[in-house]
Chain A
Amino acid sequence: MSEQESSSDERMSSEEEEQQQKEEGFSYWNLKDVERGQLPAHIRKQGTRVYCKPDAPTNCVYLVISFDLERKRGEIGMTETLQYSGSYASMGVDNSLRLDFFRENFRIKVIALDKDKMEFDMIGIDAAVANAFRRILISEVPTMAIEKVFIANNTSVIQDEVLAHRLGLIPIKVDPRLFEYLSANDTPNEKNTIVLKLHARCNQGQPRCTVYSQELKWLPNGSEFAKESEKPDSKPSTYTSFSCGQDSLPEFAGNPISTVEDIILAKLGPGQEIELEAHAVKGMGKTHAKWSPVGTAWYRMFPEVVLLENIKGEDAEELIRKCPSGVFDIEDTGNAKKKAIVADSRACTLCRECIRGDEKWENRVALHRVKDHFIFTIESTGALPPEVLFTEAVKILEAKCERVITELS
């Protein structure tokens, strides 16, 4: 057996030699358009783009991983990138995490920013990390929200529990970093509780009136409701034990705590009244959505629209008619000929109208999404400005990593 094997080996090697001699000088790396140490353009493109076809977005990868017999090529999900460090090892390309490479290529560009909404482009980061930021923004950045409502009087048509729920969802304009969490054994004090009072009445003979969120008044000295004590002679205590007024603290002096205005809480008919006290504490969105600091936070991959051939005249006009979001425009090329161009690929919603219908359009227009270019939008509810929220979210991810490191060492 061993002899046979060795002889076959010899044959193989001689065959290989012949082959090599035949193709002498040929190597993939010797092709003119291939740069050494870099992935070829088409594979780079497949790794960084999602391809959108008229039926569904797909992304075929060159690596053949046959999970089922139907598919010849393995497909990876839309947003996934090839993360494994040795993905392109056979081509001599290192895919490992290079922090200096990340530092050089990572960019953020703010598109729009005001006091409660921010849109920015985040380029050169993996979806895993971008998604972690988004998840943290929604569920792990703390805020203050009303947790307990003490209702002294409610003769309105809105039930106590419904009213309490509505109150809970009102955003409170205060920096949550100035407060501590109230744990089960703590007594509510000036460091962990905000007390708000609401007293609204609609007098007899008046028309119906509306109670708005700005009628909630901050009580810097804590609760004003006395607890019912068992011993009649004992000193009356309230539902909070503030050691000092919150308005005497430097962070709130001249900066009273308020809620977001113009939210309707209830409607009162003549003779109806609401009197209550609401206690707000610090919490996180994963406990209840009322503590979420964002209306929502989302991202989308940058849409890339490519014209694969020159589209002129009637076709150009048809293309512009097909697109509902105005991605394309007509460029007048001197001699009265109309040519379609991509004017605003950011506006593309990937509705795929432009490649639907006649099959020829599929070969004329290519729709891609850039996998590492995220258009990130944050809508703040009002507690913190959106750019601060994002910074806080990144800090929270850092803190999570740090916790793992300390636990492991």
Chain B
Amino acid sequence: MEHGSVRDPSSATFCFVDEDHTLANSVRFALNQDPRVSFCGYSIPHPSDAKVNIRVQTTGDPAREVLKDACQNLMVMCQHVRSTLDKAVDDYRSNPTDMDTK
């Protein structure tokens, strides 16, 4: 994974190798909801190359840290999704007929 940035750490472009829309769009979603981010977006420079560029510009904080926080938030979301699903499946198995309770 390469990292291209200029002297100013508050804006940087990150290149994720072996990734596609799956991760890039989710990360973009997480970044967009961070108030420290002034701009973010991603692009796939060429469809034959398995890489994606993510541009992050912040209001001052280092872009690297903001991106890390975005990934962290996404992970927390995933963990919550997993535990919610496990619970929902258990609920369904314990009482499959009772569907309209919630």
A residues within 8 Å of B by Cβ?
83-86, 94-97, 99, 102-103, 106-111, 113, 120, 122, 125-126, 128-129, 131-133, 135-136, 140, 387, 390-391, 394-395, 397-398, 400-405, 407-409
Contacts and interface: CB of A to CB of B under 8 A. Distances in A.
B43 interface: no
Given A95-B33, A404-B71, A110 B89 contact: yes
Interface of B: 1, 3, 14, 16, 19-23, 25-30, 32-35, 37, 64, 67-68, 71-82, 84-89, 91-93, 96, 99, 102
16 contacts: A85-B33, A85-B34, A94-B35, A97-B30, A108-B81, A110-B88, A110-B89, A113-B93, A132-B26, A136-B22, A395-B78, A397-B26, A397-B74, A404-B27, A405-B72, A408-B14
A337 B66 CA distance: 61
Contacts, number: 128
Contacts of A407: 1
Given A85-B33, A110-B92, A391-B82, A97 B73 contact: yes
The B interface is mostly helix, strand or loop, or mixed, namely helix
A402 B75 contact: yes
Contact of B88 (A108, A125, A136): A108
A111 B92 CA distance: 8
A405 B68 contact: yes
Contacts of A102: 77, 80
Given A108-B84, A387-B89, A404-B16, A128 B26 contact: yes
A128 B40 CA distance: 15
Contacts of A126: 29
A129 B25 CA distance: 8
Contacts of A401: 23, 27, 71-72, 74-75, 78
A132 B33 contact: no
Given A103-B80, A400-B19, A96 B35 contact: yes
A108 to B, nearest CB: 4
A397 B81 CA distance: 11
Contacts of B96: 113
B35 A394 contact: no
B68 A86 contact: no
Contact of A97 (B14, B33, B84): B33
A94 B35 CA distance: 9
A47 B19 CA distance: 30
A145 to B, nearest CB: 21
B91 to A, nearest CB: 7
A178 to B, nearest CB: 21
Contacts of B25: 128, 131-132
Nearest to B32: A83
Given A113-B89, A387-B89, A405-B68, A129 B29 contact: yes
Contact of A125 (B23, B35, B37, B81): B81
A75 B51 CA distance: 30
Nearest to B36: A85
Contact of A129 (B72, B77, B82): B77
A97 B80 CA distance: 14
B29 A128 contact: yes
Nearest to B84: A108
B88 A120 contact: yes
B97 to A, nearest CB: 12
Nearest to A95: B33
A136 B19 CA distance: 11
Given A387-B85, A394-B81, A408 B22 contact: no
Given A129-B77, A405-B71, 11 more contacts: A83-B28, A97-B73, A106-B81, A107-B102, A113-B92, A125-B77, A391-B85, A401-B71, A404-B71, A408-B1, A408-B14
A269 B79 CA distance: 55
A96 B59 CA distance: 15
Contacts of A135: 20-22
Nearest to B23: A400
